Amino acid sequence: TPKALKLYGVDESEYSGEAEMFTKIHEMRTRIISNSKFDGSRVLGAILFEMTMDRQINGIPSAKFLWEQKGIVPFLKIDKGLEEEKNGVQMMKDMPQLEALLDKGVAAGVFGTKERSVIKSFNKEGIKAIAKQQFEVARRVLAKGLVPIIEPEVDINSPDKARCEEYLLQCLLEGLQELAVHDHVIFKLTLPNKANLYAPLMGHPCTLRVVALSGGYNRAQACEVLAQNSGMIASFSRAFTEGLNAKQSDAEFSKVVDMACQMIYDASRSSTSAGAWKEMLAQMAKKDGFIAALDQSGGSTPKALKLYGVDESEYSGEAEMFTKIHEMRTRIISNSKFDGSRVLGAILFEMTMDRQINGIPSAKFLWEQKGIVPFLKIDKGLEEEKNGVQMMKDMPQLEALLDK
């Protein structure tokens, strides 16, 4: 709190003791939350400290104000800080009053909770213990009808950050398997070294959302990395309040709040949101229809064009050939009769995915304009026949293609 106040332009000399300090921090939070630029049009939820929840904003209890006046979902931070580092991690301290705090949160109208622990270095025993503790607390939260935000932060300065993240993912997936089918959790995770590393979490039915903490990155850095992670949205603290100052006029303050909200909102709007992914999954699992294979490539392309009435004399070279096939696919996909009422999905060739349809990236056009789930053809053709079969050719660039 003293650090947060100092960044906000309030020096320690301006308050005396813990009570005055928390009054100052509440004034800061009240100024942010009550600002006209801070509302549910861009901000989905807000995590409150217990003392914030206990106080009022403009004469209304804080959690109630967030939801009823702003349309923002309130969460409550429930952890009581961190233990000393052991086995490369800092576990959460014991929470002997957790049940009472959860009951208090329910009465105040919070939707969920947040609990943070930290991974400092790669140690399987430590990371496994972190995940186990997080899920143990999560189950206690779920028992109260609340949604837990599970936050096992990986220190961005860890020399083993990538290894920590990969093993953490494994532990979190194992933890998800132990939840009941009706349970829902949110994961708050450090922006990963490998883009889209946490995508497997999004596909699990118990995962409500996967959100990113800024973890020491400034706002520009955090937004840049976040935008590379499809389906992940922001839950920034210092990166959100960056640039806000107690000495600013209301107009200056509002300008910074607006800029921060818009910048973080834009970075959170990835090409395929987690919600959209789940809609796609449901469509493919349950809806009637068929999958259109629009993925002719390489040697099959001239044949496809010929069947379409475009002779080889009408184009010269591969570039023109692929332009012609894209024109054909665009004509099909943009046709009013080709939509999600009958077509469940469409398989695209890489060059089709790379291009646009009516000024919109092809995969995005399929889903957002047509309600059709996009797939990508990834094989690079067939080997010569051997033992009665034709195997797929090697795909040395597969990881890069999948990330793309």
Q: 320-359: per-residue pLDDT in tens?
A: 998 999 999 999 999 999 999 999 999 999 999 999 999 8
What's at 152, amino acid-wise? P
Stated as kind and residue range, the H or E segment containing 339 is none
Q: How confident is the model at residue 235 (pLDDT cuts 50, 70, 90)?
A: very high
In tens, the pLDDT along 80-122 reads 999 999 999 999 999 999 999 999 999 999 999 999 999 999 9
* Contact (Cβ atoms closer than 8 angstroms) between residue 134 and residue 175: yes
What average pLDDT score do residues 25-54 get?
96
At a CB cut-off of 8 Å and minimum separation 6, what does 44 contact?
Answer: 72, 73, 233
Stated as kind and residue range, the H or E segment containing 284 is helix 274-286
Q: What confidence score (pLDDT) does residue 228 get?
A: 85
The encoded tokens of residue 355 equal 């291009």
Q: What confidence score (pLDDT) does residue 274 get?
A: 55
CA distances from 295 to 150, 325, 346 (A): 40, 10, 9
The percent of residues above 90 in pLDDT, for the chain, comes to 81
Q: What confidence score (pLDDT) does residue 270 get?
A: 60
Q: What confidence score (pLDDT) does residue 404 get?
A: 87
Q: What angle do CA 398, 348, 346 make, to 5 degrees?
A: 125
**Cα 350 from Cα 401, distance rounded (Å):** 9
* Contact (Cβ atoms closer than 8 angstroms) between residue 344 and residue 290: yes
Average pLDDT, the chain: 93
* Contact (Cβ atoms closer than 8 angstroms) between residue 65 and residue 35: no
What average pLDDT score do residues 207-227 get?
93
* Contact (Cβ atoms closer than 8 angstroms) between residue 371 and residue 340: yes
Catalytic residue of the set 115, 151, 153, 165: 151
* Contact (Cβ atoms closer than 8 angstroms) between residue 353 and residue 376: yes
**Cα 99 from Cα 106, distance rounded (Å):** 11
Q: Is 18 in a helix, a strand, or coil?
A: helix
Nearest residue to 191 via CA among 241, 159, 153: 153
Q: What confidence score (pLDDT) does residue 84 get?
A: 97
pTM above 0.85, yes or no: no
Catalytic residue of the set 120, 128, 188, 324: 188
Pairing of strands 45-48, 73-77: parallel
**Cα 103 from Cα 116, distance rounded (Å):** 20
Phi, psi of 76 (to 5 degrees): -125, 130
What average pLDDT score do residues 285-304 get?
85
**Residue 271 reports pLDDT greater than 50:** no
Q: Any catalytic annotation for residue 151?
A: yes
What average pLDDT score do residues 269-275 get?
58
**Residue 278 reports pLDDT greater than 90:** no
Pairing of strands 343-348, 373-376: parallel
**Cα 99 from Cα 141, distance rounded (Å):** 9
**Cα 166 from Cα 170, distance rounded (Å):** 7
Pairing of strands 356-357, 360-361: antiparallel
Q: What confidence score (pLDDT) does residue 296 get?
A: 75
**Cα 268 from Cα 290, distance rounded (Å):** 32
Pairing of strands 147-154, 185-190: parallel
Q: How confident is the model at residue 182 (pLDDT cuts 50, 70, 90)?
A: very high
* Contact (Cβ atoms closer than 8 angstroms) between residue 84 and residue 90: yes
Q: How confident is the model at residue 379 (pLDDT cuts 50, 70, 90)?
A: very high
Q: Is 122 in a helix, a strand, or coil?
A: coil
